[in-house]
Structure 1
Amino acid sequence: MAVGNIVEFLKVPTSQQTISNVWINDDIRPLPPHRRTWTRWAYISFWAINQICLSNWQIGASLVTAGLSVWQAVISIVLGKIIISAVAIANGYVGAEYHIGFAVASRYIWGIYGQYLALIQRIILSLVWFSVQSWTGGLCVQNVLSAIFSSYQHMENHFPASAKMNTKQFIGWIVFNLLMAPILYVRPEGMKHVRIRLDPIRLQETACDNC
């Protein structure tokens, strides 16, 4: 397969009735009205599911492990969440008011070419966050597989000690990513009802963990 064919295969599908290039495409155009389907509850669910996910529960444990007392960790987390909330509200205003995304906002702040600096920063941040979240998800999958298949729990490790992981964890990470890959093809408006229905499940899991 030629390089050009690979590039075409990897391109995000776009409307054949509109112009699509580096200067203007569906990611840059304001979100059309028919795609603005999120309700107030959808946004509440979006932020709620982000706050009660496993990675947020790890923050407190990490701060205590780093040497903070429980109350110091709680105060630090609360102050941090307040700051993050203020930044998120300010950053999301242009999207709520003008229905434009990061690609446009970075261009009118940094310029057509300067926006590549913001883009590179965003890519690096995404790689770090993907690493953290996918590895955590892989550990969860590993535990699920170990609970279902007893032989999986006693699987021989083929990685050296310097790898800082074992075969079970690596397989769990691979399986997690394979399960998550199809979701990348679902547009944000398609995830609205999923998020709303997942919140009660997450809250129930949290309550059970604290029992």
Structure 2
Amino acid sequence: MSSPSRSGTTTLTARAVLFDMDGTLVDSTSIVEQVWTTFAARYGLDIGEILRSSHGVQAMDTVRRFAPAGSDIQALAAELGRMELAETRGIVPVPGAPKLLASLPPDAVALVTSASRDLAGVRMAAAGIGVPAVSVTSEDVMRGKPHPEGYLRAASLLGVAPADAVVFEDAPAGIAAGIAAGVRTVAVGPNAGELPDGVLHIPDYSGVAVTTHVTGAGLRTLSFTF
């Protein structure tokens, strides 16, 4: 639940934390725009429309939506995936993300990303961030964001109910996925769009603090102060 703390702050208490990757832990904006610009130029598509709708969703879903009729969707998505894997210049952590992750118990954290497992490994390494032991990538779900499958799976793998977790997300599709999963959702950064009621927004993690509490019964909780 959310509760007021000292003036101007909010506190969220949870048992587990679920993070998106691109735009949430890792800033890969330059590479993402480069890859989709190449795709758009090849087929004479509107790059602005592609970027507005592709953020936070699986590349396969975006290719399927925008590729010309008769295109080999699998081959195009694979080609774009190779382009993304080959380029890491400009990838940096979102401010405060490494420090926040280092302060969290590893077994209370999951990564839930629309990227492939290989791409997640490449981008997290380029940003100097370790990949959590529990990671749900594009290979692990049948339905990508905004469907809640990824977040529901991550909560299950961590052994917590969705209501006992908190999601950090940067894109409308991911925010919708977190809400649909029944997980309290925090929007991060400038690309979140119009936020549903009750969704907290932060620019990055610079102003976020977390405290770990263990009750006498051994129940561990994490208190985030924004």
**Between structures 1 and 2, the one with greater helix share:** 1
Larger radius of gyration: 1
TM-score by length of 2: 0.27
Q: TM-score, normalised by structure 1?
A: 0.28
Bigger fraction of residues in strand: 2
